[in-house]
């Protein structure tokens, strides 16, 4: 799961233009990851899966995100520690290597993710993870039905819905309309404190974090300029000409 700045906070670009300010900005679980966790928990409630493990890669603060997933009903958590410069450069390629390694280690038959993170909007991790594991993938899922060892996935595509059938083990990424995630309630938050979170480093999984992408610069969208009032149509046309728009 991803830990992002909360979506209604005012985001500001850092003065050195290498990214956005994250200090002091409230973070919470990526909305699509919430939907993914909810779906996994519902599958367990329907007794179609045995155990739900919540995974997050990042510094200490992602433990809060894992605890929220545990409060929603996941059984245990895994915190893959990535901090400092490594965390700033952490992208879908590295995360998918980590998830692939974990899926093998835990002998998982299903990996569920949010379709994309709302901070970088990459939409690559699920697909890359499936490719690395050589597993089937059902992305942009708005409905997931497990039938034996097969999964029927209804995918949201441009212009409509596509239904596919894939064989497990598989990777599924959650889209907006898959479900409405539950709130973590106080009794469940209390119970979650007792659930286990395993701690490991990427090196424990044999994964290197070298990034092949360098962020060159991050800019805010151009400031909106004040409009100019004109007195006549001729004025308007000449102003449009002057600014090169016609």
User: Which member of 84, 158, 159, 183 binds another protein (CB under 8 A)?
Assistant: 183
Q: Smallest gap, in angstroms, from Cβ of residue 10 to another protein?
A: 9
Q: Which is nearer to another protein, 35 or 209 (CB)?
A: 35
d(CA 148, CA 133): 21
**Which is closer to another protein, CB of 187 or CB of 244?**
187
Nearer of residues 42 and 155 to another protein, judged by Cβ = 42
210 binds another protein (CB under 8 A): no
d(CA 192, CA 179): 22
We find the least distance from the C-beta atom of residue 177 to another protein, in angstroms, to be 11
For 28, 30, 52, 74, 102, the CA distances from 71, given in Å and listed in that order, are 14, 16, 12, 7, 22
Is 117 an interacting residue with respect to another protein (CB under 8 A)?
A: no
Ordered DSSP codes for 117-185: -TTT----HHHHHHHHHT-EEEEEEEEEEEETTEEEEEEEETTEEEEEEEESSEEEEE-GGG--PPPPP
Q: Does 188 contact another protein by CB under 8 A?
A: yes
In angstroms, rounded to a whole number, what is the distance separating the alpha carbons of residues 1 and 4? 10
Interface residue with another protein, options 52, 130, 170, 184 (CB under 8 A):
184
Q: Binding of another protein at residue 45 (CB under 8 A)?
A: no
Report if residue 8 touches another protein, rule: CB under 8 A: yes
Q: State which of residues 71, 112, 133, 153 lies at the interface with another protein (CB under 8 A).
A: 71
Report the distance separating Cα 56 and Cα 202, nearest Å: 12
218 forms part of the interface with another protein (CB under 8 A): no
Residue found by looking up tokens 């938050």 in the block:
189
Question: Residue from 180, 223, 232, 243 that binds another protein (CB under 8 A)?
Answer: 180
Alpha helices in the chain (DSSP H): 31-45, 62-72, 85-88, 92-105, 125-133, 186-192, 233-242
Distance, in Å, from the CA atom of 200 to the CA atom of 180, rounded to the nearest integer, reads 31
The yes or no reply on residue 187 touching another protein (CB under 8 A) is yes
Question: Counting contacts by CB under 8 A, is residue 189 touching another protein?
Answer: yes
Handedness of CA 30, 128, 99, 179 (dihedral sign): positive
Residues 19-38, mask of contacts with another protein (x by CB under 8 A): -------x-xx---------
Q: Which residues contact another protein by CB under 8 A?
A: 6, 8, 26, 28-29, 64, 68, 71, 180, 182-189
């Amino acid at each position: 799961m991803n830990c992002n700045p909360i979506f209604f906070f005012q985001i500001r670009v850092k003065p050195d233009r290498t990214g956005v300010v994250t200090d002091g900005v409230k973070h919470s679980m990526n909305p699509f990851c919430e939907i993914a966790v909810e779906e996994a928990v519902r599958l367990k409630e329907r007794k179609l899966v045995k155990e739900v493990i919540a995974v997050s890669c990042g510094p200490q603060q992602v433990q809060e995100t894992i605890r929220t997933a545990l409060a929603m009903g996941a059984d245990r958590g895994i915190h893959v520690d990535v901090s400092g410069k490594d965390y700033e450069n952490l992208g879908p390629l590295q995360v998918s290597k980590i998830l692939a390694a974990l899926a093998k280690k835990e002998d998982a038959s299903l990996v569920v993710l949010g379709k994309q993170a709302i901070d970088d909007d990459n939409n690559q991790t699920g697909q890359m993870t499936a490719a690395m594991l050589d597993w089937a993938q059902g992305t942009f899922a708005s409905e997931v039905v497990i039938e034996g060892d097969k999964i029927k996935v209804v995918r949201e595509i441009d212009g409509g819905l596509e239904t596919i059938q894939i064989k497990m083990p598989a990777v599924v990424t959650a889209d907006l309309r898959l479900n409405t995630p539950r709130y973590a309630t106080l009794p469940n938050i209390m119970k979650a404190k007792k659930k286990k979170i395993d701690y490991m480093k990427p090196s424990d999984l044999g994964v290197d974090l070298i990034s092949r992408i360098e962020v060159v610069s991050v800019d805010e969208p151009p400031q909106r300029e004040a409009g100019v009032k004109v007195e006549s149509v001729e004025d308007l046309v000449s102003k449009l000409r002057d600014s090169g728009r016609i």
